[in-house]
Amino acid sequence: MRIDVITIFPEYLTPLELSLIGKARREGLVDLHVHDLRQWTHDRHRTVDDTPLGGGAGMVMKPEPWAAAFSGVREAGHAELGEDVEPLIIFPNPAGAPFAQATAQEWSQCEWLVFACGRYEGIDERVYEHLADVGCEVALASLGDYVLNGGEVAVLAITEAVVRLVPGVVGNAESLVEESHSEGLLEYPLYTRPASWTDPAGVVREAPPILLSGDHGKIAAWRREQSLARTAERRPDLLAAGDGDTQSA
Ligand code: ADE
C-alpha cells in the first residue's frame, strides 16, 4: 500500500516512523510519504491561507497550493504504481462521515491513499469540485463529533487503524478477528496469569474459572455473552444498528 500525506506540519507525522507502522514501512508493506504543502507555494512567505470571501472569522486554505500538491503527488504515485492506479483522497474533517472499523477494513484493501490535512477554518470548496472534475475519488472522514486544530491527529489515528489491517502487518492475524468492533461488538474481558491475583489492597481476585476449563466451546460462548453484555451496557447504539449476526446471538 502507498500512502501520501500532505500537511503544513510534516513533523506532526513523525510517530508514523515508530512501532508497528514504522516496522511495516521498513519491511516494505507500506510506502509512506509525507509532503509539506508549502513546497507548492511560490511566494516569499509560502502562503497557504487567506481571509474568507464574504467575511467571517479565521482563515481559509487557498486552492492553488492544494491543486498543485494533488497534481504533484499523483504524478509521483503514477510513476511508482502505474498510470492506471488512482488514489482515494481522504480529507479528515469533522463534517465528514464517521470513521469506523468498517471504513478501516475497506481502506486497508486500497492500493493507494492520499491524506490531505486541512488547517484553519478549512479548504476552499473549489478544490473538492476540481478533484471531482478530474475524476478523483474523494472521502471526508471524521474522527468524532469534536473539532481538532487540523487533520494531522486524525491521519495518525486513521493510518494506524488502516495499516494494522494490511495483510502481514500484524503478526498474529487472529488477534484482529476478536478485537473490539471487528464484529460490531466490544471485546470481551481479558485475563492472564496469575489466575488468582491478590491486589495491592489485599483483595484476592480470581479469573473466571471457565477460562481454565480447557473447554474451548464453552469459553467461546462465555466470551460472546460477555461481549454482548458489555456492548449493551456501554454502547447500546451498536446493538441497535447491528446486523443480523449480532442480533441473533
Ligand atoms: N479535523 C478537525 N476536526 C476533525 C475531526 N473531528 N475529525 C477529523 N478531522 C478533523
Task: Please tell me whether residues 131 and 204 are part of one structural domain.
Answer: no
pLDDT at 47 over 60: yes
Residue to mutate (ligand 1; options 143, 146, 156, 159; most atoms within 8 A of CB): 143
Give the pLDDT score at 120.
84
Residues 41 and 95 in one domain: yes
Q: Which amino acid is at 210?
A: I
Q: Has the ipTM of the complex gone over 0.90?
A: yes
What is the pLDDT at residue 183?
Answer: 85
Residue 135, domain extent: 2-163
* Same domain (yes/no): 210, 117: no
Distance 158 CA to ligand 1 centre (A): 11
Domains of the chain: total: 2
Span 138-176, pLDDT tens digits: 999 999 999 999 999 999 999 999 999 999 999 888 888
Pair (34, 103) in one structural domain: yes
Ligand 1 atom nearest the C-alpha of 93 is: 9
Please name the residues in contact with 141: beta carbons below 8 A apart, sequence gap of 6 or more.
Answer: 90, 91, 92, 93, 96, 97, 98, 99, 103, 154, 158
In a domain, 242, yes or no: yes
The domain boundary residue, chosen from 102, 128, 163: 163
Residue 243 pLDDT > 60, yes or no? no
Q: Which residue has the cell 471457565?
A: 210
Prediction pTM value? 0.92
Domain CATH code at residue 192? 1.10.1270.20
Please tell me if the CB atom of residue 98 comes closer than 6 angstroms to any atom of ligand 1: no
Q: Is residue 170 assigned to a domain?
A: no
Residue 110, Ramachandran bin (φ over 0: left; ψ between -120 and 50: alpha; else beta): beta
Task: Compute the residue count for the chain.
Answer: 249
* 145 labelled binding-site residue: yes
